[in-house]
Structures are given as C-alpha cells and as structure tokens.
C-alpha cells in the first residue's frame, strides 16, 4: 500500500466516525491550552484536521525498538531472538532531532507527548531528552515503561521535568508475571519501580494487558492492590497489533467483562471522561477509594475520537497503530529541511489521514501486515 494512502478509503461523509462534524479546515489553534505559548520558532500555530475532522493532539515518540523484556504478547522470543535485526544507533533519531520534530508537532496542536518504546528507559541518558521536551511550554509530558529501571531513573526523570509515568504490570503473581515477561523478571522489582516513581513525586498509573486464560485471574488482585496503593489501574484489551503474537479474538477479555468482574466485589460506577478523545473509559469505586480505567480498543473502538500521531524511533510518522507503513520524517530532517518545511509536511500528512482500523476490524483485517508494537510504541 502507498505510504501516503489511508489504510482504508473512507469518505468525509462516513457516518460511522463520530467526529465527522468537526471542522476540516486549518484554522488558528483553538484547543484547551493557551493559544500562544512562548515559542517563537514557528510563525503560525494552526490546528490541522484529518479527513474525518480529527485534530492532532497527542504524539507518542518511540525512542528505541529494544527492550529488556520479551512479553509474549509483544516481543515473543521466537521472533525477537538473537537474529532479530534491531535498529542501529545511527538509525535512531538523536535527541536534537526528536526535539526539533516535537516542536513541529506542537505547532500543529499537539498538547501531550508520551515517550515510549520498546523500553524507553534502556535508551541511554533519556533524562536529557526529557529535559529538552519539558522546556516546550504547556506540554503534558509523560512516559510508559515496564518499570524495571525506575528505581535508578525515577528521580532523574522527575528532576528533568517529566510530569507523570505509566508503568505496565500484568499480574501480582510472580509465576504468571514471569511467564508473561519471559525474562524471569520478578513482580517485586516492578513494584519497587512504582514506589521509586511515587517517592520522586511522579503520579503513577498502572497498565495491565488482559489475556484470557493467562492473567485474567489477576484482575481482582490487581484492582485490590492498586486501590490500596492509590494508583489508577487501567485494563487494556489484548490487541491484534503486529503480526508476531498470534492474536485470536478468543484471547480478548472484553472490557465489559473486566468491569463486571470488579463490580461484583468492589462496586464501581462510570465517570465522565476528563477530555474528549480520552482513550480509557473511567470507572470509580462507589466507596470513594479511587478509580480504574478500561481501554476497550477491540470491543468498543474509539477511532472516531483518535487524535494520536506516532513517531517511530527512526523517525517515521504513523497515523495509526495499525498502519502498514510510516512516513519518513528523518529523511527530511537529515536532508536539511527548514522548520517550516517540516511543519508543512506533518500537516500535509495529517490532513490526508483516514485511518480507523479498529472500527473496520474483521476477519479480513486480521491477516494484514502491520508494524510491531515494540517498534511503534503502543
Ligand atoms: N516497554 C514499555 C511498557 O511495556 O510499558 C513501553 C512500550 S509497550 C509497547 C506500551 C504498552 O503497550 C504497554 O502497556 C504494553 O503492555 C502494551 N501492549 C503491548 N502489546 C500489546 C498488545 N498486543 N495488546 C495490548 N497492549 C499491548
Ligand atoms: Fe517490552 Fe513493553 Fe513490549 Fe513488554 S510490552 S516486550 S516491556 S516493549
Ligand atoms: Fe486510532 Fe487505534 Fe483507530 Fe488507528 S485503530 S485510528 S490508532 S483508535
């Protein structure tokens, strides 16, 4: 498929995409943040909308395709073994290049940047990148990690300006967790990472991918534990990302079932989203002991509100988690493009975006090629 072509060929009038009523023109930025930040690099802040009228609000930046875990649903050992060709250092965007691109995205209305990977904390001196990005005025800067290196890194990340952190943990049962990360990593050390982040002053959320028959018995123990610890726990439906995890619909535990399981012991009620396009549906404990989130990407797709762009570690822009190919921004950066030219190209690519894979998911889409989660960053 042509890298510039939308994954599907929807029309602007398509009624299944709920945000079709939004403006489709480039207009002065009019979002939730202050109109003009103290950033003079770009003359005009414009918000771009794609073919469904969805603006660009979030950017996920992958800083490496490498990881010290081999989670069975993400980087199965049989595929990501000794012979796997990871990106070479020279292929990765440098921190300067990432910063430059981040400015160009922010100029189009991006309000939130999430650093991810692979495992972002295996990238050396990551706090230096955080420092650079934290200096972009008004940006919500966060990071997703498996938590293994947080004991060493949390304070430096906080000092560099990171606002919050999301830690992935799939079970409190050591045997189950070790089987899922497949590198024999103990639960206790992830919990130590969570504690280190909290002690450094970083608000923590916890992500749990639920796979039927593997860790669905961990739903309640995880809910009890993180309610007690005061961190928001978010349950993620197992997705058909990449093509190496052998995904089957039968492996998915639907969000509704997850909520019902919790509700039976710890009654919950729905909460309004914090903002339009929030991916996790929020539920709060009726006894006031905090809240949980569920990310129902498979059973309740949210493409209509999807405002996410993704930048791979080698500088390719993906306009959907399930896109086949990305657009090479590194070539522009290394080819001497001006800031304005970079900004223009990003805007051009976004206005042509017509992705809505999850809404179209069917038996036919399962076999289609797509990038790996560890490459694009989730
Ligand atoms: N290594 C970091 C981590 O695990 O948090 C960041 C990258 S990881 C690809 C980002 C998130 O994607 C994690 O929360 C992970 O659990 C989730 N993830 C990976 N594969 C998934 C899949 N097949 N379905 C749903 N979530 C998945
Ligand atoms: Fe690594 Fe995160 Fe993928 Fe697990 S989910 S293999 S920790 S990138
Ligand atoms: Fe966004 Fe996911 Fe839908 Fe792609 S499939 S448009 S990433 S919500």
Question: Does any domain span residue 2?
Answer: no
Rounded mean pLDDT, 18-23 = 30
Instruction: Give the domain extent around 279.
Output: 12-376
Rounded mean pLDDT, 311-328 = 94
- 182: closest CA among 87, 84, 74? 74
Question: Does any domain span residue 97?
Answer: yes
Q: Which ligand is nearest to the CA of 321?
A: 3
363 or 185, which is more confident? 185
What per-residue confidence (pLDDT) applies to 325? Answer: 87
Calculate the average pLDDT of the chain.
86
In total, how many domains does the chain have?
1
Domain containing residue 35: CATH number: 3.20.20.70
Question: Does any domain span residue 58?
Answer: yes
What per-residue confidence (pLDDT) applies to 144? Answer: 98
323 pLDDT band, cuts 50/70/90, is: confident
Question: Does any domain span residue 6?
Answer: no
What per-residue confidence (pLDDT) applies to 1? Answer: 31
Ligand 1 binding site (Cβ under 6 Å of any ligand atom): 67, 73-74, 116-117, 119, 144-146, 168, 207, 209, 236, 238-239, 241, 245, 373-374, 377-378
Q: Are 352 and 51 in contact (CB under 8 A)?
A: yes
Question: Does any domain span residue 7?
Answer: no
Model pTM score = 0.87
Question: Does any domain span residue 315?
Answer: yes
What per-residue confidence (pLDDT) applies to 378? Answer: 66
246 pLDDT band, cuts 50/70/90, is: confident
Q: Is the dihedral of CA 347, 46, 357, 313 positive or negative?
A: positive
Question: Does any domain span residue 4?
Answer: no
Q: Are 147 and 185 in contact (CB under 8 A)?
A: no
Q: Is 73 exposed, middle or buried (0-12, 13-18, 19+ CB in 10 A)?
A: buried
Mutation probe of ligand 2 site: the residue of 87, 119, 121, 236 with most atoms within 8 A of C-beta: 119
23 or 126, which is more confident? 126
Q: In this model, does residue 250 exceed pLDDT 70?
A: yes
Rounded mean pLDDT, 275-298 = 92
Question: Does any domain span residue 3?
Answer: no
Report percent pLDDT > 90 for the chain.
72
Atom number, ligand 2, closest to the C-alpha of residue 74: 3
């Amino acid at each position: 498929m042509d890298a510039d072509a939308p994954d599907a060929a929807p029309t602007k009038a398509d009624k299944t995409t709920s945000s079709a009523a939004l403006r489709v023109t480039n207009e002065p930025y009019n979002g939730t943040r202050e109109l003009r930040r103290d950033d003079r690099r770009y003359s005009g802040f414009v918000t771009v909308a794609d073919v469904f009228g969805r603006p660009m609000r979030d950017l996920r930046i992958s800083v490496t395709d490498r990881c010290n875990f081999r989670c069975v649903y993400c980087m199965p050992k049989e595929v990501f073994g000794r012979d796997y060709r990871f990106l070479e250092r020279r292929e990765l965007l440098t921190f300067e290049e990432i910063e430059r691109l981040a400015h160009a995205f922010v100029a189009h209305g991006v309000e939130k940047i999430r650093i991810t990977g692979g495992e972002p904390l295996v990238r050396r001196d990551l706090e230096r990148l955080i420092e650079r990005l934290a200096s972009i005025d008004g940006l919500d800067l966060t990071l997703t990690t498996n938590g293994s290196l947080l004991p060493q890194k949390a304070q430096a990340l906080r000092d560099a300006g990171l606002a919050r952190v999301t830690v992935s943990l799939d079970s409190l049962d050591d045997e189950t967790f070790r089987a899922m990360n497949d590198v024999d990593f103990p639960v206790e050390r992830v919990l130590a990472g969570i504690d280190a982040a909290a002690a450094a002053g970083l608000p923590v959320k916890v992500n749990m991918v639920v796979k039927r028959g593997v860790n669905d018995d961990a739903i309640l123990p995880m809910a009890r534990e993180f309610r007690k610890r005061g961190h928001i726990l978010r349950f993620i439906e197992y997705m058909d990302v990449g093509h190496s995890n052998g995904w089957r619909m039968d492996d998915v535990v639907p969000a509704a079932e997850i909520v019902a399981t919790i509700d039976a012991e710890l009654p919950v009620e729905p909460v309004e989203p914090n903002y339009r396009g929030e991916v996790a549906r929020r539920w709060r404990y009726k006894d006031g002991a905090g809240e949980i989130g569920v990310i129902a990407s498979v059973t309740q797709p949210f493409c209509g509100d999807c405002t996410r762009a993704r930048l791979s570690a080698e500088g390719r822009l993906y306009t959907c988690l399930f896109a086949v190919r990305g657009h090479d921004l590194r070539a522009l950066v290394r080819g001497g493009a001006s800031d304005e030219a970079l900004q223009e190209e990003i805007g051009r690519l976004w206005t042509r975006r017509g992705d809505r894979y999850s809404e179209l998911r069917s038996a036919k889409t399962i076999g289609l090629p797509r990038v790996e989660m560890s490459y694009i960053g989730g």
